[in-house]
């Protein structure tokens, strides 16, 4: 198994709606043992260079374990961020010896 980072992005003008927390908790619960690290929310942001355009911003990250990139993408389906016009960037974690 490989660990993958999920970077959750929303439209730049996104405002959380009532019930959002419960929706996220249900989705995280459905990930089961694939969820390695629930991660953290990002409460503010700034950017330097090209980071996906000015139309979106990162709001959180998590780490999951999956067999391959396709399996990691399948885990990302159903993420609440997709319902609000956002997206999930998915990438494998590079293990660095000695870290």
Which region among 4-8, 31-35, 42-46, 91-95 has the lowest average model confidence (pLDDT)? 42-46
36-94 pLDDT per residue, tens:
999 998 888 777 776 666 688 889 999 999 999 999 999 999 999 999 899 999 999 98
Q: Is residue 97 part of a domain?
A: no
pTM, 2 dp: 0.87
Number of domains the chain is built from: 1
Answer yes or no: is 98 within a domain. no
Residue 53 has what pLDDT?
65
What range does the domain containing 84 cover? 2-92
Q: Give the DSSP letter of residue 78.
A: T
Q: List the structure tokens of 96.
A: 């660095």
**Can you name the residues that pair with 3 across neighbouring β-strands?**
65
Q: Encode 66-98: b = buried (16+ Cβ within 10 Å), e = exposed.
A: beeeeebeebbeebbbeeeebbbebeeeeeeee
Assign residue 32 the CATH number of its domain.
3.30.70.1060
């Amino acid at each position: 198994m490989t660990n993958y980072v999920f970077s959750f992005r929303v439209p730049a003008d996104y405002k959380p709606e009532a019930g959002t927390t419960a929706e996220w908790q249900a989705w995280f619960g459905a990930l089961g043992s694939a969820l390695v690290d629930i991660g953290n929310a990002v409460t503010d942001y700034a950017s330097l260079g090209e980071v996906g355009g000015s139309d979106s911003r990162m709001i959180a990250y998590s780490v999951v374990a999956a067999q391959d990139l396709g399996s990691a993408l399948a885990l990302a389906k159903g993420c609440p961020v997709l319902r609000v016009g956002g997206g999930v960037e998915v990438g494998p974690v590079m293990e660095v010896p000695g870290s």
